[in-house]
Amino acid sequence: MVDRNLQNFYGRLGRIEHIHAAGGGFEADGTLGMSHYKRAAPRARRFGLMGPLALVLMAVITIKAAVLATIGADAYQDRIAQLQAGGTADHVGAYVLQADPLTVALAAQVGKFLP
């Protein structure tokens, strides 16, 4: 003999177990239930190509300022002039390494900490 109430009970129990296995369930207000722990991690901001380019630009300016503060402005300009006398790659290097106003200002700040 089949008990209709027992079949109904096991059917509901199966559905509840299926929902729980999928991460669902009842959560009272103010509690930390499964939805709190299985939340999707917040997406990191994507900088695309601009982030790495900005990082490289800051590194180049910092290195230029450190060299300028260490060897002095006259010696730095002499080395830039030597680069400009070279080939195509040296011309590009001289253009990149020229002392711009930001580099000069940063070198003045770095120079305060150098002996």
pLDDT at residue 1, rounded to an integer: 61
pLDDT at residue 88, rounded to an integer: 93
First to last CA, the chain: 98
- Positions of the chain with pLDDT lower than 70, given as ranges: 1, 25-26, 34-36, 39-40
pLDDT at residue 46, rounded to an integer: 74
Question: Residue 92's Cα: distance from chain center in Å?
Answer: 29
pLDDT at residue 103, rounded to an integer: 95
DSSP string, 27-61: --TT---HHHHTPPPPPPPP-TTHHHHHHHHHHHH
The domain limits of the chain are: 50-111
pLDDT at residue 59, rounded to an integer: 96
pLDDT at residue 115, rounded to an integer: 77
pLDDT at residue 19, rounded to an integer: 82
pTM summary value: 0.59
